[in-house]
Amino acid sequence: MVKILNKENTILNKFLAQMRDKAVQGDSMRFRRNMERVAEIMAYEISKKLNYKTRMVETPLGIAAVEEISDKVVIATILRAGLPFHQGFLNYFDDADNGFVSAYRKSRPDGSFIVDVEYVSTSSLSGKTLILVDPMLATGTSLMLVYDALVRRAGEPEHTHFAAVFASEQGVDYVLKHTDTTKCTLWCAAVDPELTSKSYIVPGIGDAGDLAYGVKL
């Protein structure tokens, strides 16, 4: 199942526009904050799909029945571009466990690349709800490799929510092809039509990690 948030006009579009706009995106602090804002909106939407239980809360004047999330949530991200996106989810799911994965592209002489998962740190995922966040879903290869590495290390989640700010149509198709759609949901703020030969999303935004934290060597 795929949920694309910008199909409906909301304040989300303002944040996406600022992330895309080359006259604005150079402000790295604003770029990071906009990524957080998108994550906060997406976290709210994902929360509607979780399981809840009733808890009785004592107020100064009586007792209130409150519905609270009963799922055990783990938020995981791919370093480094995913950090502000991760923080936005953590702002809302503030009692969630967390996972971090280091993955990077190794270029080949012919211009193609492979993705190497170098480091995985996470709590147990068995029977929990995993929210795996990556701001850019280009080919989908990195996301699936990271997901497989997390499952091998920490067990299989009850349900996985994949979350991306910008995705390509190719990346969306790849994720749907390589996951059980009864146990996985893909959330995208926007889906763009093209990929370059170097797997940049078009029109996209450029390199999210560089925009958030400076150009890497």
| Torsion on CA atoms 161, 7, 140, 49, rounded to nearest 10 | 10
The answer, yes or no, to whether residue 188 has pLDDT greater than 70, is yes
Q: How confident is the model at residue 110 (pLDDT cuts 50, 70, 90)?
A: low
Domains annotated for the chain, with CATH where assigned, are 2-213 (3.40.50.2020)
pLDDT digits (tens, 9 = 90+) for 121-142: 999 999 999 999 999 999 998 8
Phi, psi of 31 (to 5 degrees): -60, -45
pLDDT digits (tens, 9 = 90+) for 169-187: 999 999 999 999 899 999 9
Q: How confident is the model at residue 102 (pLDDT cuts 50, 70, 90)?
A: confident
DSSP track, 19-56:
HH-TTTTT-HHHHHHHHHHHHHHHHHHHHTTS-EEEEE
Cα separation, 85 vs 38, whole angstroms: 8
pLDDT digits (tens, 9 = 90+) for 17-49: 999 999 999 999 999 999 999 999 999 999 999
Distance of CA 140 to the CA centre of its chain: 12
pLDDT digits (tens, 9 = 90+) for 5-18: 999 999 999 999 99
Per-residue confidence (pLDDT) for residue 117, from 0 to 100: 77
